[in-house]
A and B are shown apart, each in its own frame.
Chain A
Amino acid sequence: MAIPYTFVSLLDVLGYKNKINDDRHNGKEDFKQKLESALSVLNGINETEISYQAISDTIIVSTHPSTPFPEFLRTLVRVHRSFLKNGLFIRGGISFAPHFKSGSLTYSHALPIAYEIEQKQAIYPRIVIDKNIIEMMKPGEKLEAATIEINNEELICKENGIYFLNIVGKSSAECHSLAKSIYDSEKSFLEGNEHELAKHRWLQNLIVALSGATLTPYMDGVEIFYP
């Protein structure tokens, strides 16, 4: 039997190793509780349409071949926001290719593509959509009909040739508050850590930009140094 082609997203919880180490050194399970709480958003999903697996710092979300693509994007928006609510950043990739899961066996062409997108393109806390899926939205292509919902709900953003999920939508104030809260809680860890700080700055800029400049940056800016 031919392997079905489905939309698959591979999501990675950022800072996983550090958060596990924090729990180990503090004798707590805070991170575990946050993960459970974040993933609880998927508890009520219709598993005949969308299924998921969470292994370590990786979450795989996949669709049934008949699941509408906009529905998949909406689910991923809810997942991303749920992680933000629990103080966690995720990033990932979305691909469309053969994907098979039966019991504990997963055989997938889609996963390595989504993984590569997550590793090479996502960089920041965002879920990047494979350009081939964007091609499928062109006139006459498979996803042409889905573009009506995608456009109406403004589900996809574009920057520098990268297409990614719009997690802000009409909830810019809520996202602003959540992102600020994460930044404030990690501020001391971020000092001198430009690599991690860039992720916060990118998310801040996204939220401010999509709010139509009604919201202001919450991160410290550049200042003159007076010794």
Chain B
Amino acid sequence: MTKIVSLYNNKGGVAKTTTLFNMAVYLAQVQEKKVLLVDCDPQCNCTELFFCSADNFDDPDLPLPGTSIYEALQPRFDGDRARVDVKDIYITPSPIYKNLSILRGDINFSRAEQYFSIAISQAVTESIHDKNTYAVMSRMLRDLGALHGFDYILCDVGPSAGSITRMTILSCDGVFIPTAPDRFSYQAIQGMGSIMNEWLTRHELIIATFDPYGIKAPFTTPKFYGAIVNNYKIHRAGKKKGSYLKWEQLIKDGIVNLLLSGSGKKLLPNQQSLLSNPFVASIRDVGAMAPVAQIVGKAIFDIAQPDTVHASSDGDYYRGAVWADWVTRMDEYRSEIGKIAAAME
């Protein structure tokens, strides 16, 4: 059975796409799972990262291969079909990673905001069209998973509380919340509890109306898989700087008290231990490794020594102690991504 997962924070800059891409490579490469990335963000950053390792990626005359998410869903938006036939969707294998494919993003997918927005508003009524549009994302992901035998479908979403993101998150089995140890992430966590509650409350209301119309609701209720703290910096002694620890504690309290606990809270933790410690991974600032990984289109933990030529100023790749430090940092990073993967089991 395919597990559908996303990373969500309506705040930007918390490494959603980077972490998701690295999770996908980890699951496909290290755990040899069959993985599909779905780029649900009209910014298409995940698609860019996925394809940039291809030799001909920079040729502007070559269109990206495969079906885009907007093309896949368009028959439903146009009202031509009750549901999308996933046999018509061509997903694209990774240029460099076995077991990893993508349903690529599309800048035009931003048009789906209005379709999903209307569906969220009208699907509770007798409108079959809007019920089918409300269900289309979840149906498509689950049908793709069944058709191709994916172990995991990882959905990249934009930093918003808009209707595309909402329908994607509601289509998932679980969601991680990536954060950064700063005031703005704490601010975002404070608002996320009411957003998720509102989404899940209306979701329950809407899917309860499906059965009388003979529509099978293709949803599970998304659970909280854990939070991830990103981009912290450490002292030379190897300890997290105190200022980061203070924000981390506030965010932890915010997740536990505002998102998961209290009467009427709809987002349930996947494991009870998350109520006492919601963080499943703690990822140190990756410094120059991130831009190099973006140049070569690889996972951060999979940068090869020759790839560091892109980081050096003298045109040579890193050697000796400098490269050894990169290897240590990559091992640390892989280990944290492994913890995220373990939290999905």
Q: A residues near B, CB below 8 A?
A: 4-5, 95-98, 109-110, 113, 130-132, 135-136, 138-143
Among the listed A110, A130, A141, which residue makes an inter-chain contact with B215, where contact means beta carbons less than 8 Å apart? A141
The reply to whether A113 and B82 contact each other, CB–CB distance below 8 Å, is no
The reply to whether A136 and B212 contact each other, CB–CB distance below 8 Å, is no
Q: Does B265 contact A (CB under 8 A)?
A: no
- Residues of B with C-beta under 8 A to A98: 212
Pairs across A and B, CB under 8 Å, 16 listed: A5-B212, A5-B213, A95-B126, A97-B125, A110-B126, A130-B126, A131-B129, A132-B126, A132-B129, A138-B81, A141-B82, A141-B213, A141-B215, A142-B213, A142-B214, A142-B215
- Contact bitstring B208-221, A, C-beta under 8 A = 1, else 0: 00001111000000
- Residues of B with C-beta under 8 A to A131: 129
Q: Give A142 to B82 CA distance when docked, in angstroms.
A: 12
Give the 10 A-B CB pairs with smallest separation, nearest first. Answer: A142-B214, A5-B212, A135-B128, A97-B126, A132-B128, A138-B82, A132-B126, A142-B213, A136-B128, A132-B127
Nearest opposing residue in chain A for B211, CB measure: A5
- Residues of A with C-beta under 8 A to B127: 132
The reply to whether A135 and B129 contact each other, CB–CB distance below 8 Å, is yes
Q: Give A136 to B215 CA distance when docked, in angstroms.
A: 9
Q: How far is the CB of A142 from chain B (nearest CB, A)?
A: 3
Q: Give A130 to B213 CA distance when docked, in angstroms.
A: 14
Q: Does B83 contact A (CB under 8 A)?
A: yes
- Residues of A with C-beta under 8 A to B129: 131-132, 135
Nearest opposing residue in chain B for A5, CB measure: B212
- Contact bitstring B171-183, A, C-beta under 8 A = 1, else 0: 0000000000000
Q: How far is the CB of A60 from chain B (nearest CB, A)?
A: 17
The reply to whether B212 and A135 contact each other, CB–CB distance below 8 Å, is no
Contact status of A109 and B126, CB under 8 A, knowing A138-B82, A140-B82: yes
Among the listed B81, B82, B126, B215, which residue makes an inter-chain contact with A96, where contact means beta carbons less than 8 Å apart? B126
- Report B67-98 residues with CB < 8 Å from chain A CB: 81-83
Q: Give A135 to B125 CA distance when docked, in angstroms.
A: 14
Q: Give A113 to B151 CA distance when docked, in angstroms.
A: 44
- Residues of A with C-beta under 8 A to B83: 140
- Residues of B with C-beta under 8 A to A136: 128, 213-214
Q: Give A210 to B129 CA distance when docked, in angstroms.
A: 30
- Report B113-161 residues with CB < 8 Å from chain A CB: 125-129, 132
Q: How far is the CB of A115 from chain B (nearest CB, A)?
A: 14
- Report B184-233 residues with CB < 8 Å from chain A CB: 212-215
Nearest opposing residue in chain A for B127, CB measure: A132
Q: Give A110 to B213 CA distance when docked, in angstroms.
A: 13
Q: Give A143 to B212 CA distance when docked, in angstroms.
A: 11
Nearest opposing residue in chain A for B216, CB measure: A140
- Residues of B with C-beta under 8 A to A110: 126
- Residues of A with C-beta under 8 A to B82: 135, 138-141
- Residues of B with C-beta under 8 A to A135: 82, 128-129, 132
Nearest opposing residue in chain A for B80, CB measure: A138
Q: A135-B128, A139-B82 are in contact. List 8 more A-B contacts (CB 8 A).
A: A5-B212, A98-B212, A132-B126, A132-B127, A138-B81, A138-B82, A141-B128, A142-B214
Q: How far is the CB of A147 from chain B (nearest CB, A)?
A: 13
Nearest opposing residue in chain B for A133, CB measure: B128
Q: Give A139 to B132 CA distance when docked, in angstroms.
A: 13
Among the listed A4, A96, A139, which residue makes an inter-chain contact with B213, where contact means beta carbons less than 8 Å apart? A96
Q: Give A96 to B129 CA distance when docked, in angstroms.
A: 14
- Residues of A with C-beta under 8 A to B125: 97
- Residues of B with C-beta under 8 A to A109: 126
Nearest opposing residue in chain A for B130, CB measure: A132
Nearest opposing residue in chain B for A113, CB measure: B126
- Residues of B with C-beta under 8 A to A139: 82
Q: How far is the CB of B22 from chain A (nearest CB, A)?
A: 38
Q: How far is the CB of A158 from chain B (nearest CB, A)?
A: 15
- Residues of A with C-beta under 8 A to B214: 136, 141-143
Q: Give A139 to B215 CA distance when docked, in angstroms.
A: 12
Q: How far is the CB of B250 from chain A (nearest CB, A)?
A: 44
Q: Give A95 to B82 CA distance when docked, in angstroms.
A: 19
Choose among B81, B82, B127, B129 the residue with the greatest number of A CB atoms under 10 Å from its CB: B82
